[in-house]
Chain A
Amino acid sequence: MRLSFPRPFPDNQNPEAILANPSLAPDGSAPRSRGLSDLAIRNLFIIPTIIFLIVFNIFPLIYSLGYSFTDFRASTNAPANFVGLDNYRALLSDPFIWKNFTITAKYVIVSVTGQVVVGFGVAMLLNRDIPFKGLLTTLLLLPMMLSMAVVGLFWKLLYDPNFGVINYALGLGNFEWLADPDMALYAIAIADIWMWSPFVMLLSLAGLSAVPKHLYEAAAIDRASGLYTFFRITLPLVAPILMIAVIFRTMEAFKTFDIAYILASQPTTEVISIRLFKMAFQEWQTGMSCALAYIVLIMVLAITNIYVKYLNKVKER
């Protein structure tokens, strides 16, 4: 007697039937009775995005690379003359540009360190059993969802020497946060930390909740103190995901423009993006600014590469 079982799959989803007769596969190779094939649907989703990327990202990228070797000025009708590496040479030997890079580096270090410390700290607190955890997490994510310009204006009010709540709360009188040449960069970094710590917090929280509970139990049995457990278990295991947060935030901080532009216009707060903006759209040195943009890009790529190498090393464990 032959037993017959109900068929679990229609033929075009049944792995065995597909192996025996590949034309059954639902990949568009077999004619469909109606509607679009899977391939057509896939293309419908992907092609517009690719066109958009080419027109607005890839094309300007390549076009600006060409401009970076010319003396082109977008404010005149004069034709662009090829100047070779002159723009790059001029920029890299300009002490003012290096000053901008130094300011940017200082800003990146303060801002990213602050975000990691605050973000990871809050994530550690949220990783416990506390009431209203979900609501609290959502509320803490709010700064990240605001527009940069709004955050800039918002902090401008907070820092206001006359009626700003920060001076009031800290009892600093009429301290000029944004006009003080030494303090302004830190003031911007604080606003950036406030805005982007939640991002680090979110990734850290994902990393922390992925650490198996039994490792903490094992550490407790092994008589490890809280601090020892943190440095020997928690931190190494969360490091890969924390590194990803650091990579993203470093890239973003390196390119910071809007919040710094809105909050202060000090020479001490002129990060590289502001210099770039001024060069391109105030001084109209289009060719030169394209070259500077490429230098920034290469630097960001180099830093990211160092992080990624470290990340891979951490992940190998």
Chain B
Amino acid sequence: MTQIELRNINKHFGPFHVINNVNLTVKDREFVVFLGQSGCGKTTTLRSIAGLETIDSGEILIGGTPVHMLKPEARDVAFVFQSFALYPHLTVFENMAFPLRAVGMAKAEVAATVERVAGVLQIRPLLKRRPSALSGGDLQRVAIGRALVRNPKAMLMDEPIGSLDAKLREEMRVELKRLHVEQGSTTIYVTHDQIEAMALADRIVVMHAGVLQQVGTPAEVYANPVNLFVAQFVGSPVMNVADVTVSGAAGAGLVTVKGASEGFAFPPALLAQVPDAARALKLGIRPEAIEVALTPAEGHLAAEAHIVEPLGSHDIVDIRVGDSLLRARTRPGFVAGPGTPVWLRLDPTRAHLFDSETGNSLGIRL
């Protein structure tokens, strides 16, 4: 059983605090994705687990054993590099055999293991080629193959499909998922691509400025972001965020977007939970939680479509409300084009309120 635990780990690069007191437990056979922007510390955290970086303080345990003082070769983890890091002078077979030969495995066993893994990854015909003669997707398969042959305690992957084109990335994503289901090794995967994270992860770890922002299943992170950073990082298009004021006039709660003359009707029970209505608040609402109508309806506010982006399966419509632009998701061709009058309603069950100052969610749900 391979559980990976990070306890209060910290790391500085000069004055930069790149890993800030990170605590995390990755369970056995779990697929965890570190998600964040470039420079958020996700790769450094992964490299620290592998032993390619030393941490300033804290503990890293793999399978219950503290490993943060050990060299990478003693930690028994496999690492897939973004650049693949295949040995250019060795053939695919030799690349995959490298970790086995390095520990003196018998020749016949090496050949059998490499053949088996090459079969799983469907790269048997490539075994005699050198990396320079391979396509991006094949390079990636070989890099994963080199990691898989050793049956490591854990697989660590640093944006392994980041350098592939969009179509190939999608194919490889499915393949990675399949491999994890089949092999079931504890995996930590680093990416800045939230779609990749949503598609692959059992749990997503959102990082920002070296700090863990939220840990949860893709659905949790998507539906209940703990702060504005997570809200605006996960999801495509991102969550709409607008400055609002809340009031409880005439028996019905109102959420008014800054600059708008009217407010959206919200259940008073929800708004009653706002601890201090005078505090500056931001409303977060996902595009699919905005209901758009082409005729006036009860509880809908009148507005006008600003831009329509047709994306094939759906359209994204930008609608000006007060000082903000709200992006709504509609079925294709629903809104004819810019300037079309529309009527909006927000789904209160999927609305989020954030403290403008701290950016944290108020955690108020209907």
Question: Which residues of A line the B interface, CB within 8 A?
Answer: 212, 214-215, 217-225, 228, 232-233, 236-237, 317
Contact = CB atoms under 8 A, between A and B. Distances in A.
16 contacts: A214-B83, A215-B85, A215-B87, A218-B86, A218-B146, A219-B98, A219-B102, A221-B77, A222-B98, A222-B99, A223-B150, A224-B99, A225-B73, A237-B88, A237-B89, A317-B88
A241 B83 CA distance: 24
Contact of A220 (B72, B89, B103, B130): B72
A218 B90 CA distance: 14
Sorted nearest first, the 6 A-B pairs with minimum C-beta distance are A222-B99, A224-B102, A218-B85, A214-B85, A220-B72, A223-B73
Contacts of A215: 85, 87
Contacts of A236: 89
Most chain B CB neighbours (cut-off 10 Å) among A212, A215, A236 = A215
Given A215-B87, A218-B85, A222-B146, A228 B77 contact: no
A317 B89 contact: yes
Nearest to B156: A221
A214 B81 contact: yes
Given A218-B79, A220-B51, A220-B72, A228 B85 contact: no
Most chain B CB neighbours (cut-off 10 Å) among A221, A236, A237 = A221
Q: Is the interface of B mostly helix, strand, loop or mixed?
A: loop
B365 interface: no
Interface in B107-137: 130
B71 interface: yes
B52 interface: yes
A222 B98 CA distance: 7
Interface string B129-171: 0100000000000000010001000000000000000000000
Q: Is the interface of A mostly helix, strand, loop or mixed?
A: helix
B239 interface: no
Contact of B102 (A212, A228, A317): A228
Contacts of A214: 81, 83, 85
Contacts of A237: 88-89
B9 to A, nearest CB: 19
B100 to A, nearest CB: 9
Contacts of B18: none
A220 B50 CA distance: 10
A237 B90 CA distance: 10
Contacts of B130: 317
B89 A221 contact: no
Contacts of A224: 73, 98-99, 102
Nearest to B94: A232
Most chain A CB neighbours (cut-off 10 Å) among B76, B102, B150 = B102
Most chain A CB neighbours (cut-off 10 Å) among B51, B76, B89 = B89
B78 interface: yes
Contacts of A212: 83, 85
Contacts of A222: 73, 98-99, 102, 146, 150
Nearest to A317: B89
A214 B150 CA distance: 19
Contacts of B52: 217, 220-221
Interface in B60-88: 71-73, 76-79, 81, 83, 85-88
B78 to A, nearest CB: 7
Contacts of B87: 215, 218, 232-233
Contacts of A223: 73, 76, 99, 102-103, 150
A227 to B, nearest CB: 10
Given A214-B85, A237-B89, A317-B130, A221 B50 contact: yes
Contacts of B89: 236-237, 317
A182 B52 CA distance: 52
A233 B98 CA distance: 10
Nearest to B149: A222
A222 B83 CA distance: 16
A145 B81 CA distance: 43
B79 A221 contact: yes
Given A221-B52, A222-B150, A223-B102, 5 more contacts: A215-B85, A222-B102, A222-B146, A224-B102, A317-B89
Contacts of A221: 50, 52, 72-73, 77-79, 99
Nearest to B76: A223
A294 to B, nearest CB: 39
B14 to A, nearest CB: 15
A42 to B, nearest CB: 36
Nearest to A316: B130
A212 B71 CA distance: 19
A214 B88 CA distance: 12
Most chain A CB neighbours (cut-off 10 Å) among B73, B78, B99, B103 = B73
Contact of A217 (B81, B86, B98): B81
Contacts of A217: 52, 72, 79, 81, 85
Contacts of A225: 73, 102
A1 to B, nearest CB: 21
A219 B89 CA distance: 14
Contacts of B86: 218
Contacts of A232: 87, 90, 98, 102
